Structure formats: structure tokens, C-alpha cells
Structure 1
């Protein structure tokens, strides 16, 4: 639960940095950015997954680079949907969405790598035998 909240917080911080760096992205209050982070997460889980499935062949042929285009489209859609919902966040076009998604994901990934501890990896192979004590 805490990790999920931290991921949304880091995504909102990534949106804040993207709006400062990328022309064509505008934002309002930080609460709006948190709401946009939730919308972006929902769109990535639904529309983004569908687009990745539909564009499987171009993604394989481009060694996954086509996923940057899909991320840009979903980011642009999130900006459009957010502004229609009355949130103070807007993305002016595809290229702003493309670079905004790139910047926001890099910032969120770096923050997540620093502040969210990784779980210990489980050893590979069969589980150890259970000892029965008589």
C-alpha cells in the first residue's frame, strides 16, 4: 500500500518536472498532478495495455522502441482527459506527450529506485524439503 502511494507521488513529481522542462505541458496545483497520476496509471493499465497488444508486431520489429510512441499517445490522452475533467493539466500535442512521458517516467523511475526498497530475490530452484520432527 505504501509502495503504491509512493509510486503515485513519484509519478506526480515526474509530471511536475515534465511540465517544467517540456514546452506544451501545463499544470496547476500539486493535487491536480496527483489526480493526473492516478488517471495516467488507469489509462496505462487499460488503453496502454490494449495498444501494446494491438501493436505487438511493430514493437517486436523495433525492439520495443515503439512503446515510446504508445506512452506518448497515452500521456497525450491523459492530458486531454484531465483538462476535460476540470483538472489544471494539459498536453498540447503528441510531441509534448512523447517527451513529457519520457521525462516523467525517467524521473519517477529514478525516485522509485532511490526511495522504494527492492524486495529480496528468492533463490531459484525447488523449495527446500520440509523437515518433519517426531
Structure 2
């Protein structure tokens, strides 16, 4: 549970950074930011694996670059479900996915891998 909380904090940091850097990403308030981070974690845990399996052939053909679109779609789904979080378009979602992915990578470096423990 502590790992989920730390990952949610880093996801919130990534979404906040994306809202500051990317013109098409907006967060209305801090509560929406926290909810968006938790919801993104849940969407990535439940929906993303299914979408990944369904789009695996396209991901192979594009040598993994299609995963950026999948990650952008997950961020877009969170924006669709949460009224205080807005993403305007695919390009904004892709750049937000890159920023959030980077912060998630940093989180993995900070808290370590659960499989190694």
C-alpha cells in the first residue's frame, strides 16, 4: 500500500508538471490533481493491460512507439472520468504521458522494484 501511495505522489507530480509545461493539459485544483493521480494508477492497473494486449501487434510494428499513444489514451480516459482534469487532444496527451512516464521512472528508481525485495 505504501508503494501505491508513493507512486501516486510521483504521478501527481508528473501530472502537475505536465499541466505547467504542456499547453493542452489543465488541472483545476489540488484535489483534482490528487484524484487524477490515484485514478491514473487504477486505470493503469486495470484498463491498460487489456488495451496493451489488444494493441500488441501495432506496438510490435511500431517498435514500441505505440505505447505512447496507449499511455496518452489512459491519461485521456482519466480526463474523461474526472471533471477537474482536462487534456485537449492527442498531442497534449502524448507529451503528458512522456512527462508522467519519466516521473514514474524516477519513482521506480527511488522506491525500488517490489520483485527484487
CA RMSD across the alignment: 1.9
SS of the residue corresponding to residue 23 of structure 1 reads coil
> Residues 120, 57 of structure 1: CA spacing in aligned structure 2 closer, same or farther, 3 A cutoff?
closer
Does the aligned pair in 2 maintain the 1:79–1:90 contact within 8 Å? Answer: yes
Question: Residue 113 in 1 paired to residue 102 in 2?
Answer: no
Structure 1: tracts of 5 or more residues without a match: 123-134
Query: Could you list the per-position Cα deviations for residues 58-107 of structure 1 after superposition, in whole angstroms to 9, with x for gaps in the alignment?
Result: 11122221111111111112112111xxxx21111111111111111212
Number of equivalences: 117
**Scaled by the length of structure 2, what TM-score is found?**
0.87
> Residues 95, 52 of structure 1: CA spacing in aligned structure 2 closer, same or farther, 3 A cutoff?
same
> Bigger CA drift: 17-26 or 36-45?
36-45
Identify the structure with the greater helix proportion: 2
Question: 1:45 offset after TM fit, Å?
Answer: 2.3
Q: List, as ranges, runs of 4+ consecutive aligned residues in structure 1 with deviation greater than 6 Å.
A: none
**Relative contact order higher in (CA < 8 Å, ≥ 6 apart):** 2
SS of the residue corresponding to residue 82 of structure 2 reads helix
Bigger Rg over Cα: 1
Aligned match of 1:56: 56
Aligned match of 1:93: 89
Query: Could you list the per-position Cα deviations for residues 27-59 of structure 1 after superposition, in whole angstroms to 9, with x for gaps in the alignment?
Result: 122222111111112222232222111111111
Does the aligned pair in 2 maintain the 1:75–1:101 contact within 8 Å? Answer: yes
> Residues 58, 6 of structure 1: CA spacing in aligned structure 2 closer, same or farther, 3 A cutoff?
same
Aligned match of 1:76: 76
Aligned match of 1:36: 36
2:100 corresponds to which of 98, 101, 104:
104
